[in-house]
A = this chain, B = another copy of it.
Amino acid sequence: MKLLRELAAHVGGEVIGNGETAIESVAPIDSAGRGDIAFIASPKYRHLLATTKASALIVAADEEEGGGTNLLRVADPYLAFAKILDILQPSSPHHGGRHPRSEVYEGAEVGDDVALYPFAVVDEGACIGDRVVLYPGVYVGRNAVIGDDTLLYPNVTVREGCRIGKGVIVHANSVVGSDGFGYAGEGGRHVKIPQTGIVVIEDDVEIGACVTIDRATLGETIIRRGTKVDNIVQIAHNVEIGEDSIIVAQAGIAGSTKIGKRVTLAGQVGVVGHIEIADNVTVGAQSGVIKSLAEKGLYSGTPAMPYTQWQRSYSIVRKLPEMRKRLLQLEQRLEKLEKQ
């Protein structure tokens, strides 16, 4: 429990109403009750302001006084919501210690205050930092490195030699360091190119569930600091993703492509190999990027083009039957004229 004024101090906001109000939890505005603080990010929910039973509301700085409900005015309501949620509803603590049914090979190093769940495996020569959590079924391969405060959910596989930074979260059943998909042809058959590189994941990265990140053929596949990757994303060998980028669910990036900083790839986007995407590019959902994008901005479509161009072009696709009809009519009228 926190007082509303304590929450305001925590997020740098201003209370309109009674700062001594006790707040116990965060709730959606339509189901919030006494003791709850609720959140209005979208103007679409503003009509609920008058009727909510929440004890307080997180609102934007320009919000006027409500119908008697306590307001917490902040510069960025969504950010304040995140911070308040974090202190009011902390995630359940992990079991501490090294469970006797976890398996740590000889020659592995394990830091302090780690949580090794049953059936987690740390292979020979691997190095596990302080306060690392390895859930059941996690495998950390030979000579792999896991930085301090990193959390690997159940059944995550980290293959040999890969390096994961500090404060990283990898969600369940993801794979870091599977072989890149590379073959040379010989007599109509496919000869495997050994994949001898590694994957490097820098600090503060978050990786979703069932994500696959392939190791480099030579060198490193790299995901830089602060980048967030959603579920079921495919990142091929030798890809590099810059800092603070966002890769949404089911997107795929083919081999050796370089993605800049603060790039967003929306859901189900595909990017071909061996191209570069500049900083601050956003690519719309389901688009297919087949050439380098050198300018920041919004792109969409397959092949991807500037968003406004895509919008104009594809809005006409729907009108094609009508255009075709008009074309035919023109031909008939013209023929008539020509005959005169």
Tell me the A residues contacting B by CB distance below 8 Å: 26-28, 31, 76, 78-79, 81-83, 85-86, 89-92, 95, 101, 103, 105, 117-119, 121, 123-124, 135-137, 139, 142-143, 153-155, 157, 159-160, 169, 171-175, 178-179, 181, 183-186, 188-194, 196, 204, 206, 208-212, 214, 218-219, 226, 228, 230-232, 234, 236, 244, 246, 248-250, 252, 254, 262, 267-268, 270, 272, 285-286, 288, 290, 302-303, 305, 309, 312-314, 316-321, 323-324, 326-327, 330-331, 333-334, 337-338
Distance in Å from the Cβ of A250 to the closest Cβ of chain B?
5
Going nearest first, the 10 A-B pairs with the smallest beta carbon separation are A157-B172, A79-B184, A212-B231, A178-B209, A316-B320, A139-B154, A175-B209, A209-B212, A154-B157, A172-B175
Contact (Cβ within 8 A) B312 A314? no
Question: CB distance A338 to B330 under 8 Å?
Answer: no
Q: Are B186 and A76 in touch, CB under 8 angstroms? A: yes
Q: Give chain B residues whose Cβ lies under 8 Å from the Cβ of A82.
A: 183-184, 191-194
How many copies of the shown chain assemble into the complex?
A: 3
Complex CA gap A204/B183 in Å reads 13
Question: Are A196 and B119 touching (Cβ within 8 A)?
Answer: no
5 A-B residue pairings within 8 Å (CB atoms): A95-B105, A157-B172, A309-B318, A316-B321, A327-B327
B252–A249 touching, CB < 8 Å: yes
Closest chain-B Cβ to A37's Cβ sits at a distance in Å of: 11
- Picked from B31, B91, B326, the residue with its CB within 8 Å of the CB of A327 is B326
A31, A172, A246, A331: which has the most chain B beta carbons within 10 Å?
A172
A118 to B101 CA separation, bound complex (whole angstroms): 10
* A232 in contact with B232 (CB, 8 Å): yes
Q: Which residue of B lies closest to A41 (CB)?
A: B184
In the complex, A208→B213 CA distance in Å?
A: 11
**Which one of B95, B153, B179, B196 lies within 8 Å of A157 (CB-CB)?**
B153
Report yes or no: B331 in contact with A219, Cβ–Cβ below 8 A. no
Are B193 and A173 in contact (CB-based, < 8 A)?
no
Q: Are B324 and A218 in contact (CB under 8 A)?
A: no
> Among the listed B28, B172, B231, which residue makes an inter-chain contact with A218, where contact means beta carbons less than 8 Å apart?
B28
Residues of B close to A143: CB separation below 8 A: 92
CB within 8 Å for A285 and B268 given contacts A121-B118, A234-B232: no
Interface hub of A103, A231, A318 (most chain B Cβ within 10 A): A231
CA distance A249 to B181 in the complex (A): 9
B254, B268, B330: the one contacting A330 at CB < 8 Å is: B330
The complex places the Cα of A31 from the Cα of B238 at a distance, in Å, of: 14
Q: Please tell me if the beta carbons of B250 and A270 are within 8 angstroms of each other in the complex.
A: yes
Give A223 Cβ to nearest chain B Cβ, in Å.
Answer: 13
**A76→B191 CA distance, assembly (Å):** 12
Q: How far is the CA of A209 from the CA of B180 in the complex (A)?
A: 10
Q: Which of B86, B186, B231, B272 contacts A214 (CB 8 A)?
A: B231
Q: How far is the CB of A236 from chain B (nearest CB, A)?
A: 7
Contact A76–B184 (Cβ < 8 Å): yes
Q: Report whether A317 and B313 are in contact in the complex, using a CB–CB cutoff of 8 Å.
A: yes
**Residue among A101, A302, A319, A326 with the highest chain B CB neighbour number at 10 A:** A302
Partner of A313, one of B86, B89, B172, B320: B320
